[in-house]
Amino acid sequence: MNITLDKKTKCWFARWRTVLRDGTVKHASVRLMRRSDGFRSKADVRKSDEFKAVAARIGEGDSDGKHAKLLLAVAEARGKAKPDAADAAVVERVVVDDAADNMLLTTFVEATYFHYAEANLRGKTVREYKSIWKRYDIAGKVAGLRVCDFRTKHGSEILQSIGAEHDISKSTLQRVKFMLSAVFVLALNKGLCDANPIQGVMLPKARGSRQTYAYGVDEILAILRLPFDASTNAAIGVAAFAALRESEIAGLQWGDYDGETITVRRSIDRVNGAANPPKTVKSAAPVPVIPTLKRLLDTLKATVPLMPNGDPLPDSPMFAGIRQPHADLDKMALRVIRPALESAGLLWRGWHAFRRGVASNLFQLGVDELTVQRILRHSKVNVTRERYIKVRDERVETAMAAFEAAIAKSNGVRYIGEVGAVNVQ
C-alpha cells in the first residue's frame, strides 16, 4: 500500500491495487487526512491509527477503501476498537441506500426493468417495450439522469422530442408513455423514487391513428370461396364469424369447442410461442358458433385423428403447427392467404380486420353496442365503439352511386370503367 499527497487538496491518500480472479488489476484509493492536521510526512501518516486500521481492513480482504474507512468510522462512533457484524450491517445499509440514490435511469431500465418484464410480462409486450426504448433512443434522451431525479417535465420533453423526430400517432405516443410509466411503477416499488412522474405527463399534439379496415360480409364470403385447405378456411371462419384474436385462434384446442360455443382458455404469444391465460376475464367468455362456422369446423374435424367416440383429442391443437405445437398464423397469412387473395384481386387486411368486421357487420344489422361488446369480449364498450365498429353510411353511398349513374348516362354508357366505355376527360 502506497501513501501519496494530493497537491491540490493537500490531503494524504492510501493507494493500492487488487488482482481479481479473472486477472484484472483494480486500482483503489481512500482519503486519510489533511496535511494541515499535523501529518507532515508519509512516516507521520504510517504511524497514524487511521492508516493502520485501513491497512488492516485491506489486509483482511476488504478491497473497497471507502467501505473500509466507513466501517472503521462506524465502529469508532460506537466505541469499538474493531468493527463487528452489527457495524458491517449498518455500513451495508448505507452503501445500498447510496447505490439506490445514484442509480441511473438507463441502468435501471436495461439491467432491472427489462429483466423483470421478461419474467412477468407477455413476450409480445416485452418486445414492444424494448423496441420503443431502442427505436426512439430513450437511453440517449435520459443519459446521466438518475431515477430519483426524473421529473414530470423530463417525461414531457421525451414525448415532445419523439413526436418531433418521428411521424407517429398519438396512440403510439401513448404506448411510449405506458412503457415509461411501467418503469417507474417498478422503481416506486423498489424504493428508488417517491412517486410515478409519468402520471402527470400530457401527450403532445400528434396525428391521429391511420384508418383501420373491417371486412364486409361479401368480402368474407369471397375469401372463403377461394381454394384453401380445411385448416385455413376454419381459421378464417373463426376470425370472421367468432371474432377471436389471432393469438386466441392459435391457442384453440378441440376441447375448447363443444359444438355450440368456443371458449377461449389460452392465447399463444407471437414472440416466444408461450401459452398465456386469456387477455382479460371477459376474454374467457364463451362465443356462440353460428352454423356457417360449424360447417367449417366440422370439415376441419374430419381431417384430424379421432377417438372412438368420434371426437378429436380434447387437448390437441385445433390448428397444429409444423415445427411447433401451434400454427403460425402470420406465416399462414403470408404464404397462403395473401397470395391467393392477390390472385383473386382481393386485399389482405390482416387477421384483425375480421374481428372489426364482426363488430361492424353486427352493428350494421342493428345490434346494439353493448351486445357487440359482449360478443367481442371487450372489457369496455368505448373500445368496441371507437376502434372496432366501422359504420358505412348508406345514404352517402347511395348518393355517390346516383352521381356515378348520372355521369355514366351523360357519357352514353352505364358505368365508367366497363369494356367499351368512353373515358371522361
At 132-186, the pLDDT tens digits run 999 999 999 998 888 988 999 999 999 999 999 998 899 899 999 999 999 999 9
> Domain containing 181: what range?
105-189
What cell was used for 391? 359504420
Classify residue 144: in a domain, yes or no: yes
Classify residue 209: in a domain, yes or no: no
Helix (H, G, I), strand (E, B) or coil at 261: strand
Residues 373 and 259 placed together within one structural domain of the fold: yes
What cell was used for 148? 430519483
Classify residue 201: in a domain, yes or no: no
Backbone angles phi, psi at 287, to 5 degrees: -115, 125
At 274, which amino acid appears?
A
Residues 330 and 252 placed together within one structural domain of the fold: yes
Residues 116 and 224 placed together within one structural domain of the fold: no
Residues 88 and 115 placed together within one structural domain of the fold: no
Classify residue 111: in a domain, yes or no: yes
Classify residue 422: in a domain, yes or no: no
Mean pLDDT of 319-347: 93
Residues 239 and 367 placed together within one structural domain of the fold: yes
Residues 172 and 255 placed together within one structural domain of the fold: no
In total, how many domains does the chain have?
3
pLDDT tens by residue, 24-64: 776 767 677 788 778 888 888 888 766 776 676 566 555 55
Classify residue 269: in a domain, yes or no: yes
**Angle of CA points 279, 282, 285, to nearest 5°:** 110
User: What's the mean pLDDT when you consider all of the chain?
Assistant: 84
pLDDT at 415: 47
Q: In which band, very low, low, confident or very high, does the pLDDT at 66 lie, cut at 50, 70 and 90?
A: low
pLDDT at 416: 44
User: What b/e string do you get for 8-44 counting C-beta neighbours within 10 Å, with b at 16 or more?
Assistant: eeebbbbebeeeeeeeeeeebbbebbebeeebeeeeb
By residue count, the chain amounts to 425
Residue 92: other Cβ atoms inside 10 A: 12
Residues 50 and 137 placed together within one structural domain of the fold: no
Mean pLDDT of 193-208: 90
Residues 39 and 142 placed together within one structural domain of the fold: no
CATH number of 304's domain: 1.10.443.10
What cell was used for 147? 431515477
Which pTM was predicted? Answer: 0.61
Classify residue 117: in a domain, yes or no: yes
Residue 283: other Cβ atoms inside 10 A: 18
Strands (DSSP E) along 295-396, which ranges?
none
Domain boundary among 147, 171, 189: 189
What cell was used for 135? 427505436
The number of angstroms, rounded, from the C-alpha of 32 to the middle of its chain's C-alpha atoms is 50
Residues 28 and 132 placed together within one structural domain of the fold: no
CA distance readout (Å), 208 to 74, 173, 174, 194, 198: 60, 11, 12, 34, 22
Q: In which band, very low, low, confident or very high, does the pLDDT at 128 lie, cut at 50, 70 and 90?
A: very high
Residues 232 and 307 placed together within one structural domain of the fold: yes
| Among 46, 12, 41, CA closest to 29 | 12
pLDDT at 317: 95
Domain boundary among 81, 101, 121: 101
- Relative to beta strand 2-6, strand 25-34 is unpaired
Residue 80 vs residue 314, higher pLDDT: 314
- Lowest mean pLDDT of 221-235, 262-276, 317-331, 386-400, name the range: 386-400
User: In the block, which residue shows the cell 370461396?
Assistant: 225
Please state, in angstroms and rounded to a whole number, the distance separating the CA atoms of residues 25 and 177.
43
Residues 342 and 375 placed together within one structural domain of the fold: yes
Please state, in angstroms and rounded to a whole number, the distance separating the CA atoms of residues 363 and 345.
27
pLDDT at 188: 92
pLDDT tens by residue, 206-232: 887 778 899 999 999 999 999 999 999
